[in-house]
Copies of this chain bind each other. A is one copy, B any other.
């Protein structure tokens, strides 16, 4: 039961019904391809005539293409299969991280078509825009032709409407108008910016593969130098009034706990970020500082996991502590939002077999009911590139999204 906002509604025009059904058809072709018109009419519970009109429109727009005829075991005319047409044009996904920036070319429906390339992130915004533009032109083969759009994912607070990076501590940016800087160099190509935690959440609901079909509200928790979290409710990203919804990383475990980089004490992030785990291993209270502040600057969380697997009991203990705190924080998310499932990304997932029981126990310790304690956790390994896939979704998803209505 949704309330209509009397200050921001969308009237149904003559073409609204068609637009709605068109998007439903497109969504079903996406999730069920290969699929025939007759299949669609059954899926949509409407007559085949309507489907003919809808599909003709999609064919004309070259969003959909006809493929080979299907083979049925039953008698009757063979169906003509429909597919999403991905050959039209391309999208660029960009993942900006403190260390390096990653780029990927995909077809128009988000399937990777080339290698992932990367370059060292430049911290001066203008120089970064310059270098990124050069890399984009390069990865596209020398020009901007046939590029549908660019999706860029930033480790920080972003205003997608204005394209301004409001705050990105990892990059040292405050109020950087990255969109403007890029538009000046990549004229005419639509550019979308988004926070990386939110983009990771998008990557899950818009993924065509596997169990990515959304059956309910989801939360994506990415554990890295900091915590990046995205929340999807009713199929829509929760952005909040100032685009800063989802900062569960700064929910306290103990208001008197270790100092967090945000200035407050005892944030979840200060317990489970990679630097926090590392400093626990080294027995120092440096969770508030960056890893480079450690003497062993190039000792990473991956190294720690290797040591834990190798029998280093101190390393295992550090991981188990992180696991427990991870679970306690996840319990907060579960109590607060009761999501259908939670996706977990980040380097720590490589140790999932070592830490899962502790995580689950901690969740059960603080969730209100037994059912909540069983909320599914899904690991998203780094090889699935959730941030890049989220960046892709920024470009490709609008073509499939529900029209705004009422």
A12-B16, A254-B266, A328-B255 known; A242+B406 contact, CB < 8 A? no
CA distance A217 to B254 in the complex (A): 27
- Which listed residue, B248, B328, B397, touches A335 by the CB 8 Å rule? B248
Min CB–CB distance A162 → chain B (angstroms):
14
Nearest B residue to A18 via CB reads B12
A17-B16, A251-B251, A369-B242 known; A4+B402 contact, CB < 8 A? yes
Q: Does A61 contact B (CB under 8 A)?
A: no
Q: Does A117 contact B (CB under 8 A)?
A: no
In contact, B213 and A11 (Cβ under 8 angstroms): no
Secondary structure of the A contact surface, majority rule = loop
Q: Does A106 contact B (CB under 8 A)?
A: no
- Which listed residue, B11, B21, B335, B375, touches A12 by the CB 8 Å rule? B21
Q: Does A66 contact B (CB under 8 A)?
A: no
Q: Does A243 contact B (CB under 8 A)?
A: yes
| A172-210 interface code vs B (CB 8 A; 1 in, 0 out) | 000000000000000000000000000000000110000
Nearest B residue to A244 via CB reads B338
Residues A1-50 near B (CB distance < 8 A): 1-7, 9, 11-14, 16-18, 20-21, 23-24, 27-28, 30-32, 44-46
In contact, B240 and A217 (Cβ under 8 angstroms): yes
CA distance A3 to B396 in the complex (A): 12
Q: Does A371 contact B (CB under 8 A)?
A: yes
Q: Does A252 contact B (CB under 8 A)?
A: yes
Q: Does A403 contact B (CB under 8 A)?
A: yes
Q: Does A295 contact B (CB under 8 A)?
A: no
- Which listed residue, B18, B338, B401, B406, touches A245 by the CB 8 Å rule? B338
In contact, A206 and B406 (Cβ under 8 angstroms): no
In contact, B251 and A335 (Cβ under 8 angstroms): yes
Q: Which chain B residues border A23 with CB–CB below 8 Å?
A: 4, 406
Q: Does A253 contact B (CB under 8 A)?
A: yes
- Which listed residue, B2, B18, B46, touches A234 by the CB 8 Å rule? B2
Q: Which chain B residues border A335 with CB–CB below 8 Å?
A: 244, 247-248, 250-251
CA distance A139 to B256 in the complex (A): 53
Please, could you name 20 A-B residue pairs with CB atoms under 8 Å apart, sorted by A? A1-B236, A1-B397, A3-B205, A3-B400, A4-B23, A5-B213, A6-B32, A12-B16, A12-B18, A167-B369, A233-B234, A242-B338, A244-B372, A247-B335, A252-B254, A254-B254, A254-B255, A262-B368, A402-B405, A405-B406
> 6 tightest A-B contacts by CB?
A240-B338, A12-B17, A402-B406, A245-B338, A12-B20, A3-B235
